[in-house]
């Protein structure tokens, strides 16, 4: 009887030890990545997630981060610079391992990035520049000036002069560069145009549409709309279509979104300077892990852009991104 009790006690102790070891191993595995090191946390703040372009960038980054056993925390700033500043400072308080910033306001974000630098947290600027580039450890951005220039060169092939309405976002460096590239290309070529106005639209369809509708109540004498991106171009096209003007106005955008390519295919949009959110995401996460490994990285990677028109749109997928 006594032997039986001893055997039972030993059994209970063995079960308890196995259970304890299992708990420890479970805790260990949940807090370690594929290399066996502590899981790293990456904080990403985007100007908006109300644009599929940024969703695709984030998907590409997330796939690699999670495959490596690390954590990606994604935040939507909803086009609010103050909200984005709070998000970045939240990442700093959390002591994340790296911050990915897609700045709402390329100048205003500087104060928060200074705090990240002081805390020793590396920062990568994604898809748009920040004013003080010394505050970031790397940049992945499209050739935005060229995107605008490509649209201008196409316009000059179609018309000799015109009245242009610009849809802009002055807090965003990528948007500034596209419009600058467009205007300077026309001006250097001596192409005469009348500026109907620079309309601040935050790059959002739901903002640009009523703004363009308002412009059309004052004048319908518009030949061209140059929009900073495809969503704002879509808003302009909706406003033009309501006035039965869409077939008479050339509309340019930038992104290369499935919606824009479809509109180009249908001859309802003139062109879009296509970016590649997939390449942007891949290059960002590649840069991220080099920085975390202490390896040298190029300070800036420029993602090429390509103009999509009716002549070449069938070379691209209408349902997906580049």
Do 305 and 249 touch, CB atoms closer than 8 A? Answer: no
Residue 294 Rama label (left phi>0; alpha psi -120 to 50; beta):
left
State the maximum Cα–Cα separation within the chain, in Å, rounded to a whole number.
Answer: 106
Using one digit for the tens of pLDDT, what is the confidence trace for 5-64?
544 444 454 454 444 444 434 444 455 555 667 999 999 999 999 999 999 999 999 999
Residue 20 Rama label (left phi>0; alpha psi -120 to 50; beta):
alpha
CA distances from 91 to 75, 102, 105, 320 (A): 10, 14, 18, 32
How far apart are alpha carbons 90 and 96 in whole angstroms? 9
Q: Which of 178, 127, 185 is nearest to 155 (CA)?
A: 185
For the beta carbon of residue 23, count every other beta carbon within 10 angstroms: 10
Q: Which two tokens stand for residue 278?
A: 């997939």
Q: Characterize the bridge pairing of strands 306-308 and 271-274.
A: antiparallel
- Confidence grade of residue 231 (pLDDT, cut at 50, 70, 90): very high
How far apart are alpha carbons 311 and 319 in whole angstroms? 18
Using one digit for the tens of pLDDT, what is the confidence trace for 174-189?
999 999 999 999 999 9
Q: Classify 63 as helix, strand or coil.
A: helix
- Confidence grade of residue 194 (pLDDT, cut at 50, 70, 90): very high
How much is the mean pLDDT over the chain?
92
Q: Which of 67, 64, 59, 57 is nearest to 33 (CA)?
A: 67
pTM: 0.88
CA atoms within 13 A of residue 37's CA, in its CB half-sphere? 9
Q: What's the alpha-carbon Rg for the chain, to the nearest Å? A: 25
Q: Characterize the bridge pairing of strands 123-126 and 138-142.
A: parallel
Do 224 and 196 touch, CB atoms closer than 8 A? Answer: no
Average pLDDT over residues 75-84: 98
Residues 6 or more apart in contact with residue 127 via CB below 8 angstroms: 54, 57, 102, 140, 141, 142, 174, 280
Using one digit for the tens of pLDDT, what is the confidence trace for 253-308?
999 999 999 999 999 999 999 999 999 999 999 999 999 999 999 999 999 999 99
* Residue 202 pLDDT exceeds 50: yes
CA atoms within 13 A of residue 48's CA, in its CB half-sphere? 14
- Confidence grade of residue 66 (pLDDT, cut at 50, 70, 90): very high
Using one digit for the tens of pLDDT, what is the confidence trace for 155-172?
999 999 999 999 999 999
Residues 6 or more apart in contact with residue 239 via CB below 8 angstroms: 208, 209, 210, 212, 213, 216
Q: What is the pLDDT of residue 28?
A: 41
């Amino acid at each position: 009887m006594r032997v039986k009790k001893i055997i039972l006690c030993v059994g209970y102790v063995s079960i308890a030890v196995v259970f304890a070891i299992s708990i420890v191993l479970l805790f260990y595995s949940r807090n370690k990545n594929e290399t066996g090191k502590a899981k790293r946390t990456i904080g990403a703040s985007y100007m908006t997630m109300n644009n599929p372009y940024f969703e695709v960038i984030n998907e590409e980054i997330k796939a690699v981060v999670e495959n490596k056993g690390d954590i990606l925390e994604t935040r939507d700033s909803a086009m609010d610079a103050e909200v984005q500043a709070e998000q970045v400072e939240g990442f700093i308080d959390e002591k994340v391992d790296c911050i990915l910033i897609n700045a709402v306001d390329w100048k205003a974000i500087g104060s928060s990035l200074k705090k990240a630098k002081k805390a020793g947290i590396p920062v990568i600027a994604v898809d748009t520049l920040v004013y003080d580039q010394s505050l970031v450890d790397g940049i992945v951005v499209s050739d935005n000036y060229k995107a605008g220039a490509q649209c201008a060169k196409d316009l000059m092939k179609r018309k000799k002069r015109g009245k242009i309405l610009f849809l802009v976002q002055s807090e965003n460096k990528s948007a500034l560069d596209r419009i600058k590239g467009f205007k300077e290309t026309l001006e250097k070529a001596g192409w005469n145009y009348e500026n109907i106005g620079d309309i601040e639209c935050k790059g959002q369809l739901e903002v640009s549409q009523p703004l363009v509708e308002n412009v059309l109540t004052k004048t319908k004498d518009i030949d061209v709309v140059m929009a900073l991106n495809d969503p704002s171009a879509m808003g302009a096209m909706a406003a033009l279509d309501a006035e039965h003007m869409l077939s008479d106005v050339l509309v340019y955008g930038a992104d290369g979104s499935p919606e824009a390519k479809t509109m180009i295919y249908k001859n309802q949009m003139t062109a879009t300077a296509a970016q590649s959110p997939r390449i942007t995401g891949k290059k960002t996460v590649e840069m991220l892990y080099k920085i975390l490994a202490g390896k040298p990285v190029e300070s800036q990677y420029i993602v090429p852009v390509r103009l999509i028109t009716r002549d070449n749109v069938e070379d691209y997928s209408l349902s997906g991104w580049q």
